[in-house]
Amino acid sequence: MTPPRSRGWAVLRNLAVPALALAVVATVPFSSPDSAESDQAADAWTPMSPVSVSYELAGHGKGAKAAKGNLLGFNDFHGAIDPPTGSGGLVNGTPAGGVEYLTTWVKKLRAEAKAERRESVTVGAGDLVGATPLVSAAFHDEPSIELLNNAGLQISSVGNHEFDEGTDELRRLQRGGCHPVDGCQDGDGFKGAKFNYLAANVVQKRTGLPLMLPVDIRIVDGVPVGFVGMTLKGTPSIVNPSGITSVEFRDEIESANKWGALLRLAGIKSMVLLIHEGGAQAAPPNPQPVDGCANFAGPITNIVAGLRPEFGIVVSGHTHRFYSCQLPNSAGTPTVVTSAGSNGVLVTDIDFTLDKRSGKFTEIAARNVIVENGVRNPDGSWQTDANGAFVRNPALVDASAKKIADKYRTAVAPIANRVVGKITADITSIANAAGESALGDVIADAQLAYTAAANAQIALMNPGGIRASMTFANSPGGEAPGDVTYGECFTVQPFNNLVVTQTFTGAQLKDVLEQQFVGFGGQTTQRILQVSAGFTYSYDSTQPAGSKVSDLALDGTPIDPAATYRVTTNDFLANGGDGFTHLTAGTDRATAPGFDIDALVAYLGAGTPVAPGPQNRITKRG
């Protein structure tokens, strides 16, 4: 049973969040926290084991009263109502994921926490929606929100994909109401998210205030715990710029510490950062442990290094990797940092203890739990059907989640299960050493063919827009192996981008390709564009920025810097997405009818079954 809460903290819980949202953060004093009381105890921990941290607090004796809490965290759900297929649905060989199974495991872990008399809070770290399969995307991700409500999610940061349809749509997902164009398609209205979306570093340009609530406060056995949520500062470079013109994305460390300071002024001394930014483990070993921290690196390391030490827990995301780490904060003391992969394949189970007198963390331990959904054979392997697909375990299906999911599956089935074409083999999104993938080739070819009427000569595709591979044996609607459904195509390209063709000089085209690499034209992340048949080039990554690309040719003829060429991309790229600002310099823009998925559907259904792309259009020389 939850202990009674004091009236004072009840008032704080109801009023502090909106009050803090309206505070003038520029006036917050940045006094140094009393970090001397947060020295790490000498508990042994290695990067190969689940993270566990103890803190020694001044004046904290054996008789000190403790409050026990629990966090259940996941990130990058991406509307995974059905279990993901291929490698995306495996965790070190274990089939996992899908909302019916995620809900089961969350409820199981929540019950375990309750049995230990731990108050549990379920949290997310962004990209819960966006880049979703058709069963969610066809209804503007209302199914995902409804299912996450059902799973008991309470707080989440926003991620970059929460902005895929713009800021107004994000606010609708939070507040509810029918879609302004498509209405309430399922016929029973939409009440919005029961959980709070936090966006501490997303600020409205007109008012200077956060777009969404920046913080939340939960009372754990009488002790307040503060939550700050945010997305990565680089969000504008990876979403369509047209949907975020009214907001700016501020520095993660500065934003976390400003709102952390406000929470500290309110008397809150234990804080959790929910952030859509992360890192990754690296070999050795291979595979990495699901809750290890082997050879860890990534942007989250520097972010944690700048955080106030009150942030004892950081639930992260964005990289789609799994880990549990302890990383030093600004005081040099350890902060527990976790991530649960993507698509609901893992849940992070975080136990913590608070000192009731000081309100500070005394112990934190985290582990990643695999959301298993398969059936084991006697030898420990996993059962598969005649087509090689994993058999799902009906005993692990949550009935309440299945009821909601089935409603939307039934509604979308006539569209999703329509066979639109054929493939000859698996066509994967896995890039070779040059950064070219077989599926990237196919999609670029599809867009080139789709824009022939606009006199397109070259097509370029951003790799981040390819969300899944095409699997020969996958048969979601019972279709024959090799048949591809509309729903499978949508899983590959779920963004409904427009397809546009523009004119560039050869010199401008070279600049576009140079902007694939860090340091040219403001680019901060290397991204190798996928290219259509007939167009080839080489690059040498060891050369200076702006001089890496060479040997550009179209059908064997060198690209003339002074000549003009018609180049097709999606409108995300054409508007400068992924840092490709040089693509905004095109002229004579022509927009094809429909969306990018229509180009892929038309290409797959043109007659002959489509083979994997040759991956021979880009040459890496160094």
320 — pLDDT class (breaks 50, 70, 90): very high
* Other Cβ atoms closer than 10 A to 474: 23
The answer, yes or no, to whether residue 318 has pLDDT greater than 80, is: yes
Of residues 242 and 7, which shows the higher confidence score? 242
φ, ψ of residue 17 to 5 degrees: the values are -60, -55
Helix (H) or strand (E) holding 145: helix 142-151
Distance CA 498, CA 596 (A): 6
Distance CA 201, CA 175 (A): 20
pLDDT digits (tens, 9 = 90+) for 373-382: 999 999 999 9
- Look-up of token digits 């501020």: 250
Q: Which residue(s) pair with 550 in the sheet?
A: 538
The mean per-residue pLDDT over the stretch 516-538 comes to: 96
The pTM of this model reads 0.84
Beta strand spans in 284-396 (E): 311-315, 322-328, 334-340, 346-355, 361-370
The mean predicted confidence, pLDDT, of the chain is 91
Angle at Cα 90 formed by Cα 84 and Cα 92, nearest 5°? 165
Strand order in the sheet with 196-198: 39-40, 52-56, 361-370, 346-355, 66-74, 119-125, 155-157, 196-198
The mean per-residue pLDDT over the stretch 462-483 comes to: 92
Contacts of 467 (CB under 8 A, 6+ apart): 78, 131, 429, 491, 492, 493, 494
Distance CA 267, CA 262 (A): 9
Give the range among 101-115, 244-258, 315-329, 474-488 with minimum mean pLDDT. Answer: 474-488
Q: 387-424 in b/e burial notation, b at 16+ Cβ within 10 A?
A: eebbebbeebbbeebeebbeebbebbeeebbebbbbbe
Strand order in the sheet with 530-531: 530-531, 458-461, 564-570, 499-505, 587-591
Q: Within 461-608, where are the H helices? A: 486-492, 506-514, 571-574, 596-604
Q: Within 552-593, where are the H helices? A: 571-574
The answer, yes or no, to whether residue 27 has pLDDT greater than 50, is: no
pLDDT digits (tens, 9 = 90+) for 383-426: 998 878 899 999 999 999 999 999 999 999 999 999 999 999 99
pLDDT digits (tens, 9 = 90+) for 147-163: 999 999 999 999 999 99
Question: Residue 366: exposed, middle, or buried by beta-carbon count in 10 A (0-12, 13-18, 19+)?
Answer: buried
Helix (H) or strand (E) holding 450: helix 438-450
- Look-up of token digits 């003339």: 560
Distance CA 350, CA 119 (A): 11
Widest CA span in the chain: 81
